[in-house]
Amino acid sequence: MIELDRAGRTFKVKRATVHAVQDLSFSIAPGEFVGYLGPNGAGKSTTIKMLCGILTPSSGTVRVAGLDPSRRRTTLARRIGVVFGQRTTLWWDLPLRDSFDLIRLLYKVDRKVFDARLAELAETLDLGAFLRTPVRQLSLGQRMRGDLTAALLHDPDVLVLDEPTIGLDVVSKASIRAFLARLNAERGTTVLLTTHDLGDIERLCRRVMLIDHGRLAFDGTLEELMASAPGHATIEEVVTHLYTSER
Amino acid sequence: MRPTRRTPDNPRLPFPARPCTGPDTVGDHARTERRPHTISLYAQLVRYGFRKHATYLAGALAGAFTNSVFGILRAYILIALWQARPGLAGYDVADAITFCFITQALIAPMQLFGGGLTIPERIRSGDIALDLVRPAPLQLWSLAEDLGRAAFLLLARGLPPMLLGAVLFGIVTPTGVTRWAGFLAGLLLAVLTSFGWRYLVALSVCWLVDDRGVSVVSMVLTTFFSGMMLPLTIFPGWLGELARALPWAAMVQAPADLYLGKAPLLDTLALQAFWAATLIGLGAAATRAIRYKVVIQGG
Amino acid sequence: MVRTYLLLAWTWTRAAAAYPASFWLLVVFGCVTGALDLAVILVVFANTTTLGGFSRDEVLFLYGAANLAFTLCDLFVSNLDRISQHIKAGTMDTFLIRPVSPWIQIATDRFVPARFGRVVLAGAVLGYALGALDLDGRRLWMIPVMVGTGIVIFTALWTLAGALQFLLTDAPEVTSAFTYGSQQLTQYPLNVYGRDLVRGATYVLPLAFINWQPGLYVLGRDDPFGTPGFMRFLGPAAALVLALLAGLAWRQGIRRYRSTGS
């Protein structure tokens, strides 16, 4: 579903060349739920932007749902859903419900399909109470549930989540995790999740990838990740060990 | 009222070292119990206002570019008018061209399109309460910063249009010490009047749900009755007489006339001083009202 | 495309309609600010009967025709000049993950229907001028053509302004000189401006074709700068060329954004 072959991305910063991502190769099969870890500035966002077609890779190839994202950005847009935890893709001044209507028009979702889908999402994510509230008045947890709904209304094959649980309280986190697990299990949606919250990883991801300094530092199951650093009991310790020992 | 954090007082740093943070973040301290510090506090605030705007140099130069383009376009209109009516309003063509570039140069320092103060945002966010409990009065504090702002914008956005006007069309320059002194005094009084007006507009947010109306009305009155769009001296009949007596005339028309030497020096300065004092006095009363509203009634 | 545009614009109109008082307030204030330039023209003509050889009503005709096109574009596409804000706030990424052209999304973002008040004002001035002037009825067909040309040219200018902001993220005000500067320029007969400036506004940026060249035809007058008669009819062609260039520049801008990742 997602394939990267020696993908690289360089930036020019004041004449110096920075390799944000280099030689990155991995593939994700349909239906997988993959956690994508890495310290700040490791290249996570760059990878995600390449997957959505917002950034063109400077070397190698990227394929998502069989398409080259940077060339077929708008076609791909109908097949993937993206959530940026740090900012909303909803319309700030509009009621949540109007934002969803706009999404329906933009993605050309059939009204019947849309109504059924929205009813289902509103039920599972418990949106009923604030569908008529302008987005700017929503709490962070409500907004994130709204953003997730917006990303899923066109029933994408792939869902890319960039820190979806950032800043959320315990209850909101739990409800979003439960929802994502169900989505993946019942609909078979492929999910790529970047996060700094290792609880997300433990609860959701069978497979974990770790990126550091723009390169893939680890790719395997959660068990393998734990085994890779003997003597460290918790996932926090393992990841801290990997972040600090890789350099 | 939110609890106030205590930070150690450092008399040398009455404002935050980072120029990006507002006057606002100072909020917590800036204690000025000893008199000698007061002067240096306001001097520092003037400098701070200057530096804060100097960080947006690229934006200021872009604005200067746009002001210059508009200066050129408007200058041609005035040239055509003065060709049709030589000597109109006591100006010759060179005076009219100079007037036009002065108006463009003063747009930013006088903030003719409104704004320039952070007070409306702070009223909306409720942070104004922090400003009001400070021992330094809000109005004086804002004025000091605004003077710094005006000084920077006079250089960054005032000089380029004037220089361009001089190169492309030739502009007149004042002769003699008296005219220069009169012009500079007029400029200072113009900034004070502009501040006095904008401060009142800014505080009005406190009593209004939708403040867009006030800002548009202020913008219309200021751009049209300051002389920015056309010299007030060619406004016909009673409209002209009224326009020349209103406070906005003190912001552009008055300093421009002092520069050109087309207005009696003392009368012009007196009119400006009258409006500056009146508006700032009204501002002081408004500050008391808002303090009562925010501090006693709790916003 | 048009459908998507209208649907997006309609959503914002509905959102604005939720606050009718603010809406009508903005309509009125929009008219007042729009009327300032008109007031300037009237004050100028309170002091003179002709400007550059043109009468008040002729100037009002030129003003009305150009401003009808300008205000329509101000209503429908002027939000394009907020690109630098979208880039800084990161909302540009959001536009790019959707399956619709970012141009449409940005142009309609926070569409302000209240700006239609200025369109009405410009239309009224044009209507007044047409009534006051004694024009040759066989030449009036040019008026819709010139307004259409003006719409295309101003839209292209805003698109160019948007494209330029991909480069000038820190100094977006530069582009106002072209968009609002063009509005200022076209309010008066172009012969009041210097010959070089008018050459630039004819052959570099085809602003003269918004209302000046076709307007001379409608008014039945010769160009004081002596351009040949066929130039009166070149507006649509010039507008098309500028629109194509603007389209290319826009694509370059988007491409640059996607390859620099700013």
Q: How far is C105 from chain B (nearest CA, A)?
A: 25
pLDDT confidence band for C71 (50 / 70 / 90): very high
pLDDT confidence band for B14 (50 / 70 / 90): very low
With beta carbons less than 8 A apart as the criterion, state whether B194 and B114 touch.
no
Q: How far is CA C63 from CA B30, C67, C119, C128, in A?
A: 54, 6, 12, 11
Chains B and A share 3 or more Cβ pairs within 8 Å = no
SS3 A85: coil
CA C127 to chain centre: 19
Is the pLDDT score of B208 beyond 90?
Answer: no
**B interface with C, Cβ–Cβ below 8 Å:** 58-59, 61-63, 65-66, 69-70, 72-74, 76-77, 79-81, 84-85, 88, 210, 212-213, 216-217, 219-220, 223-224, 229-230, 234-236
Share of chain A above pLDDT 70, in %: 99
Chains C and A share 3 or more Cβ pairs within 8 Å = yes
Query: Residue B35: what pLDDT?
Result: 55
Per the document, the length of chain B is 299
Flag if B80 and C51 touch (Cβ within 8 Å). Answer: yes
Q: How far is C210 from chain A (nearest CA, A)?
A: 33
Q: How far is CA C122 from CA A167, A193, B252, C132, in A?
A: 50, 53, 29, 15
Alpha-carbon span A100 to A149, nearest angstrom? 8
Of A56, A93, A107, the CB nearest to C15: A93
Domain ranges of chain A: 2-245
Q: Tokens in use for C102?
A: 């970012």
* Number of neighbours of residue A124 by Cβ within 10 angstroms: 16
Flag if B234 and C26 touch (Cβ within 8 Å). Answer: no
Flag if A56 and C259 touch (Cβ within 8 Å). Answer: yes
Q: How far is C21 from chain A (nearest CA, A)?
A: 17
- Chain B: list its partners (3+ Cβ pairs within 8 Å): C
pLDDT confidence band for B263 (50 / 70 / 90): very high
Q: Tokens in use for B224?
A: 């049209």
Is the pLDDT score of C148 beyond 60?
Answer: yes
* Number of neighbours of residue B242 by Cβ within 10 angstroms: 13
pLDDT confidence band for C262 (50 / 70 / 90): low
Residue B112 CB-density burial (10 A; 0-12 exposed, 13-18 middle, 19+ buried): buried
Alpha-carbon span B184 to B138, nearest angstrom? 26
Query: Residue C261: what pLDDT?
Result: 63
Residue among A197, A109, A200, A100 at smallest CA distance from A147:
A100
- Tokens 């369109």 identify what position? C119
Alpha-carbon span B185 to B265, nearest angstrom? 10
Flag if C99 and A75 touch (Cβ within 8 Å). Answer: yes
Instruction: Give the pLDDT mean for A212-224.
Output: 87
Query: Residue B296: what pLDDT?
Result: 64
Is the pLDDT score of B11 beyond 50?
Answer: no
Q: How far is B2 from chain C (nearest CA, A)?
A: 29
Alpha-carbon span C169 to B272, nearest angstrom? 39
Query: Residue C110: what pLDDT?
Result: 83
Domain ranges of chain B: 35-296
Residue among B259, B66, B61 at smallest CA distance from B153:
B61
Q: How far is C86 from chain A (nearest CA, A)?
A: 12
Is the pLDDT score of B13 beyond 50?
Answer: no
Is the pLDDT score of B10 beyond 60?
Answer: no
Q: How far is C7 from chain A (nearest CA, A)?
A: 8
- The region, left, alpha or beta by phi > 0 then psi within -120 to 50, assigned to residue A157 is alpha
Query: Residue A228: what pLDDT?
Result: 81
Flag if C110 and A93 touch (Cβ within 8 Å). Answer: yes
Test mutation, A17, A50, A55, chain C, max C CBs within 10 A:
A55
Flag if B66 and C181 touch (Cβ within 8 Å). Answer: yes
Query: Residue C140: what pLDDT?
Result: 95
Query: Residue B143: what pLDDT?
Result: 95
pLDDT confidence band for A209 (50 / 70 / 90): very high
Alpha-carbon span B138 to C199, nearest angstrom? 53
With beta carbons less than 8 A apart as the criterion, state whether C216 and C232 touch.
yes
State how many domains chain C has: 1
pLDDT in tens, A125-139: 888 899 988 888 888
The residue segments making up the domain with residue C65 are 2-260
With beta carbons less than 8 A apart as the criterion, state whether B135 and B291 touch.
no
Residue among A213, A226, A171, A173 at smallest CA distance from A195:
A173
Contacts of C55-59 with CB under 8 Å at 24 or more apart are C57/C129, C57/C132, C57/C133, C58/C129, C58/C133, C58/C189, C58/C219, C59/C187, C59/C188, C59/C189
Looking at chain A, which residue has its C-alpha nearest residue C1?
A106
Is the pLDDT score of A42 beyond 90?
Answer: no
pLDDT in tens, B135-146: 788 999 999 999
Of the listed ranges A233-247, B113-127, B196-210, C144-158, the one predicted with least confidence: A233-247
pLDDT in tens, B79-111: 999 999 999 999 999 999 999 999 999 999 999
Instruction: Domain A2-245: give its CATH superfamily.
Output: P-loop containing nucleotide triphosphate hydrolases (3.40.50.300)
Catalogue the E-assigned strands of chain C: 50-51, 54-55
The interface residues of chain C toward chain A in range 242-261, judged by CB-CB distance below 8 A, are 258-261
Flag if B220 and C32 touch (Cβ within 8 Å). Answer: yes
Q: How far is CA C224 from CA A32, C210, C221, in A?
A: 74, 17, 9
A230-234, B136-140, C203-207: which is most confident: C203-207
pLDDT in tens, A81-121: 999 888 888 887 788 998 898 888 888 899 999 999 999 89
Instruction: Give the pLDDT mean for B254-281.
Output: 96
Looking at chain C, which residue has its C-alpha nearest residue B65?
C174
Interhelix angle C20-47/C56-76, nearest 10 degrees: 150
Alpha-carbon span C74 to B53, nearest angstrom? 29
Query: Residue C207: what pLDDT?
Result: 96
Test mutation, C37, C178, C183, C193, chain B, max B CBs within 10 A:
C193
Q: Tokens in use for A235?
A: 């996932």
Q: Which residue has the higher pLDDT, B233 or A16?
A: B233
pLDDT confidence band for B18 (50 / 70 / 90): very low
With beta carbons less than 8 A apart as the criterion, state whether A97 and A131 touch.
yes
Chain B partners of C48 at a C-beta cutoff of 8 Å?
81, 84-85
Test mutation, A19, A96, A106, A153, chain C, max C CBs within 10 A:
A106
Instruction: Give the pLDDT mean for C210-223.
Output: 95
**ipTM greater than 0.85, yes or no?**
yes
Of the listed ranges A192-201, B84-93, C44-53, C223-232, the one predicted with least confidence: A192-201
What type of residue is B240? G
Residue among B242, B250, B243 at smallest CA distance from B275:
B250
Is the pLDDT score of B41 beyond 90?
Answer: no
SS3 A86: coil
Instruction: Give the pLDDT mean for C41-48.
Output: 96
pLDDT confidence band for B209 (50 / 70 / 90): low
Flag if B213 and C29 touch (Cβ within 8 Å). Answer: yes
Q: How far is C180 from chain B (nearest CA, A)?
A: 9
Instruction: Give the pLDDT mean for B144-165.
Output: 96
Residue among B289, B260, B255, B37 at smallest CA distance from B138:
B289
- Tokens 């400003």 identify what position? B131
Decide if C204 touches A, using CB distance below 8 A. Answer: no
Residue among A42, A48, A77, A52 at smallest CA distance from A156:
A77
Alpha-carbon span A70 to C194, nearest angstrom? 47
Mean pLDDT for chain B overall: 85
Residue among B183, B214, B195, B199 at smallest CA distance from B153:
B195
What type of residue is C87? I
Q: Which helix (H) or strand (E) holds C199?
A: helix C195-199
pLDDT in tens, C6-26: 888 888 888 777 777 778 888
Of the listed ranges A185-194, B5-14, B121-130, the one predicted with least confidence: B5-14
Flag if B213 and C25 touch (Cβ within 8 Å). Answer: yes
Decide if C96 touches A, using CB distance below 8 A. Answer: yes
Chain A partners of C91 at a C-beta cutoff of 8 Å?
87
**Measured between alpha carbons, how far apart are the two ends of chain B, in Å?**
9
pLDDT in tens, B232-257: 999 999 999 999 999 999 999 999 99
Q: How far is C125 from chain B (nearest CA, A)?
A: 20
Where helices occur in B107-154 by DSSP H, the ranges are: 119-125, 128-132, 138-153
pLDDT in tens, C91-109: 899 899 999 899 999 998 8
Residues linked to residue A7 through DSSP beta bridges, in sequence order = A24
Of C15, C99, C261, the CB nearest to A107: C99
- Chain C: list its partners (3+ Cβ pairs within 8 Å): A, B
Flag if C184 and B212 touch (Cβ within 8 Å). Answer: no
Flag if A107 and C96 touch (Cβ within 8 Å). Answer: no
